[in-house]
Structure 1
Amino acid sequence: MKKHYRSDNSCLNCSTTVSDKFCPSCGQENLELHEDFLHLVLHSVGHYFHFESKFFNSIVPLFTKPGYLTKEYFAGKRASHLNPISMYISISILFFFLFTANSNSNKKDILEENATQENTAVNTAADKQSGADTYTILNNAKAVSDSASTRNDAIVYTAPTATEPDTADKKGTTLSLVDEDSLPQSLKDKLKKVMDDDLSGQLFLNKLVSHFPKIMFILLPLFALILKLVHIRSKKYYAEHLIYSIHVHSFLFLFGSILIILQWILPFISGWIMFIGFIIMLWYIYRSMRNIYRSSRWLTVYKFFMLAFAYGCLMLLSGSIVVLATLYTM
């Protein structure tokens, strides 16, 4: 249906003179304000499908053509695709939501399992105590009966106290991953609790994993800096490495979201899902580096391992900081 454009050539948004259908300053379309319901609906739907077109023009090549969006962005073809930062923020919000939901689900399972084990232990202890009390009553009755005939004091058998399993050996076999002598006492106590108590250990690991998306968000600009150093002879600016990093992390987050959903649907092969997903992620980074930096195959492999080593060290350092912070907040 034909759109109704205003005869006045002054933009209603910024007052710039409009020589055609769109304002050359702010880009607003110079449409009539008073239009019927059908025009309003069609106009809104048109904007929706325009966004949908940009969405599919970005998401499909993000998966199928590693490095394509970065090349298109710096070739000036930006109007047909989503803005890299906007796309990254939207995808990361989705990933953080699914990741947190998955962590909370695991935490709930851990708490329910622990509650079941505690109830079982309480019932077992109650049964043992009941049997011990019965044994005591019978022996007391026998002692009283014997005292009537022998006029001796009754021999009273007290209930044997339930003994806990010897935990010394269990604690002695606990492997110490750090030098505890160099840690403050408060941290030693928390570390001991995490290592000795199964529930605390599981909750600690669960909470630690939940911080992974935040670490990735912080490491994004550092990833671009490592790329700049690895390709030190390249004439690319840091901003170009950053845009490439944003596209790579957008793929990793979106693909990670798909893996989480597949784990929910197919929990019996979750290990295989994560293994295959990890291989695909490694291949995607290698392939995108090859397409963007145009290096030879073996030089790309060499730089890929340099990037992986440096990025792994950064993740290890940041992970250690998060471990300490998680211990102190438990």
Structure 2
Amino acid sequence: MSHGKLREDKTCLNCGHQVEERFCPHCGQENIESRQPFHFLFTHFIEDFTHYDGQFWKTMQYLFTRPGTLTKEYLAGKRQLYVAPVKLYIFISFITFFLPNILPHAKDEGERPSHNKVETKSQKQKELSKDIVKDLQKKGVLSYEAAHNTQKALDTLNTLDTLKIKEAQEKSDLLDRTFDTNETSIMNAHTMKQYDSIQAKDKTGIYTLLRPIAEKAFALKEEGFTKHQIWEKYKENFIHTIPKALFVYLPIFAFFLWLFHDKKKWWYFDHGIFTLHYFSFLLLGILIFIVGEKIISYLPDSNWLTLLYVLACLGLSAYMTIYFFVAHHRVYETKKRTSILKGLLLFIINYIGLLLMFMVLMYLSFIMLH
């Protein structure tokens, strides 16, 4: 409920009818002052999505723990108790693909030290060893000659240690450079000229199909991008395209439901509501996976934690699979055997459909990189 200040005038600003309480009985507009403090914009936005009266939280609870209940309630006409299906889907979609971008990333502790860091560390070690030897000489523990020989031996050890570190790092850098040279190859080709030469001899058509990807990869390489940078750009582009792709697949998913059920009893609209709620649940599950991965990246390496995380992921994956069958049986109220058979056929058909859609999406996402 809004906390805006009520107007003393009881005439509705929207339709002109008399307002006895907070809301106009004719148009439903809240009779509050038209000019509010700046923070009202933010509080109103939060209230509009979360509904402090419990509508949002009840909807989220039912969505995750009671498969099919929201759809049944909505189709039964109970529509003011829960967030509307389209609004729910858009909100969860926004949170799922916006939240991961603002969550901090765990630092990479495996980063190798640079040559400058190695040299600085070696210099500090030499200075520290000199101070220790001088201090021992002043206290009479070491004679001048013994201190001189000790310092000389320590300098030699530090020099050898530094040379070994530099040699190992140079070898590692050489491997990296070699890997970077070969990692941009596409189907055993390092340039478009080589790719065209291989394509001319290919009879399968695979090289022809992948030619746009090869052109984009080599074009990005010429611009100075490494394979890692290209992969990061592609991954970001792909993730931002998923919500659009799922939204496009919504009517297709509902169409398959329409084909498998009684056309007189169930309208296409009914299947659309079921689809919106089911896809909202899938997005919520994806969000849990993403947040869980972010959290586990900050925790210390532990076999027990890894095992628990893997088991949790497997459990959530199994629940997301079973969820469809339970929701389908609960909403369409068919016999268990019939429900399981229809649910299994729908699951397989839509799994293949989604797989094909994502393959096309992956192809287009790479081509559209810039």
TM-score, structure 2 normalization: 0.58
Q: Cα distance 1:61–1:258, how it changes in 2: closer, same or farther (>3 A)?
A: same
Looking at structure 2, the residues matched to 118 and 173 of structure 1 have their Cα atoms a distance apart, in angstroms, of: 32
Looking at structure 2, the residues matched to 58 and 230 of structure 1 have their Cα atoms a distance apart, in angstroms, of: 28
- CA deviation after TM superposition for structure 1 residue 19, in Å: 7.4
Letter in 1 for 2:293: Q
Q: Cα distance 1:122–1:203, how it changes in 2: closer, same or farther (>3 A)?
A: farther
Partner residue of 1:60?
A: 61
Corresponding position: 1:238 with 2:268: yes
Between stretches 72-81 and 18-27, larger displacement belongs to 18-27
Letter in 1 for 2:367: Y
8 Å contact kept, 1:208–1:323: no
Q: Cα distance 1:23–1:280, how it changes in 2: closer, same or farther (>3 A)?
A: same
- CA deviation after TM superposition for structure 1 residue 8, in Å: 7.1
8 Å contact kept, 1:98–1:260: no
- CA deviation after TM superposition for structure 1 residue 260, in Å: 1.7
Partner residue of 1:275?
A: 314
- CA deviation after TM superposition for structure 1 residue 200, in Å: 7.3
Partner residue of 1:214?
A: 244
Alignment RMSD, CA only? 4.7
Letter in 2 for 1:242: G
Looking at structure 1, the residues matched to 268 and 327 of structure 2 have their Cα atoms a distance apart, in angstroms, of: 17
8 Å contact kept, 1:190–1:328: yes
How many residues end up aligned between the 2 structures? 271
Letter in 1 for 2:311: W
* Superimposed CA distance per residue, residues 5-62 of structure 1 (whole angstroms, 9 cap, x where no aligned partner): 889764332113557764333113557x59xx9xx9xxx9xx7895341112211111
Q: Cα distance 1:8–1:215, how it changes in 2: closer, same or farther (>3 A)?
A: closer
Looking at structure 2, the residues matched to 260 and 51 of structure 1 have their Cα atoms a distance apart, in angstroms, of: 27
Query: Percent sequence identity over matched residues?
Result: 27
Looking at structure 2, the residues matched to 7 and 105 of structure 1 have their Cα atoms a distance apart, in angstroms, of: 51
- CA deviation after TM superposition for structure 1 residue 76, in Å: 1.5
Looking at structure 2, the residues matched to 61 and 312 of structure 1 have their Cα atoms a distance apart, in angstroms, of: 25
- CA deviation after TM superposition for structure 1 residue 238, in Å: 1.0
TM-score, structure 1 normalization: 0.64
Looking at structure 1, the residues matched to 75 and 172 of structure 2 have their Cα atoms a distance apart, in angstroms, of: 73
Between stretches 298-307 and 213-222, larger displacement belongs to 213-222
- CA deviation after TM superposition for structure 1 residue 317, in Å: 2.5
Looking at structure 1, the residues matched to 282 and 311 of structure 2 have their Cα atoms a distance apart, in angstroms, of: 18
**1:311 pairs with one of 317, 342, 350:** 350
Partner residue of 1:154?
A: none
* Superimposed CA distance per residue, residues 126-161 of structure 1 (whole angstroms, 9 cap, x where no aligned partner): 999xxxxxxxxxxxxxxxxxxxxxxxxxxxxxxxxx
**1:124 pairs with one of 170, 173, 176:** 170
Looking at structure 2, the residues matched to 121 and 100 of structure 1 have their Cα atoms a distance apart, in angstroms, of: 39
Looking at structure 1, the residues matched to 30 and 235 of structure 2 have their Cα atoms a distance apart, in angstroms, of: 51
Looking at structure 2, the residues matched to 95 and 116 of structure 1 have their Cα atoms a distance apart, in angstroms, of: 34
Looking at structure 2, the residues matched to 9 and 192 of structure 1 have their Cα atoms a distance apart, in angstroms, of: 69
Q: Cα distance 1:117–1:279, how it changes in 2: closer, same or farther (>3 A)?
A: farther
8 Å contact kept, 1:95–1:257: yes
Letter in 2 for 1:266: I
**2:288 pairs with one of 244, 258, 270:** 258
Corresponding position: 1:183 with 2:213: no
Between stretches 269-278 and 59-68, larger displacement belongs to 269-278
Between stretches 256-265 and 183-192, larger displacement belongs to 183-192
- CA deviation after TM superposition for structure 1 residue 73, in Å: 1.1
8 Å contact kept, 1:207–1:326: no
